[in-house]
Amino acid sequence: MSELPTTLHYTAEHEWLEDGAPSTVGITAQAAEALGDIVYLELPAVGSSVEAGAVVGEIESTKSVSELFSPVSGTVVEVNQAAVDDPSLVNSEPYGAGWLLKVDVTSTGPLLTAEEYAALSAG
């Protein structure tokens, strides 16, 4: 498993959140690795409202289809079109070019530190 960036927050559902205005959301390297080759992303439209803990999209790989959960509540202000066009970016750069969406956050759900996420993922 690749090194977890300590500047990010994580969820038990394997999403990450980078604080900002707007905040950036993606999936962890562990999730991308477990999914295998990602071939399709279904993400919410810009302007959509998202709720922390709610399903906001789907990630399809050669192995399975998984739901994407939002770590925050707010409004989607940007979707990573490059990742939609080339979903393999999520596999190759989950913490970089493979980010999924940006949200103007109104509240957050339960978030974990990198250390807490690593402990949860190891168990």
Residues in contact with 34: Cβ distance below 8 Å, sequence separation at least 6, in sequence order: 14
Q: Which residues pair with 65 in a beta bridge?
A: 60
* Burial track 70-104 (b if 16+ CB lie within 10 A, e otherwise): bbbbbbbeebbeebeeebebbbeebbeebbbbbbe
pLDDT for the residue 1: 45
Q: Is the model's pLDDT at 107 over the cut of 90? A: yes
In this structure, whether the domain defined by 9-106 belongs to CATH 1.10.20.10 is answered with: no
Q: What is the pTM of this model?
A: 0.94
Quote the distance between the C-alpha of residue 27 and its chain's center. Answer: 3
Using CA atoms, how far apart are residues 85 and 42, in angstroms rounded to an integer? 11
**Domain spans of the chain?**
9-106
Stretch 13-36: mean pLDDT: 96
- The percent of residues above 70 in pLDDT, for the chain, comes to 98
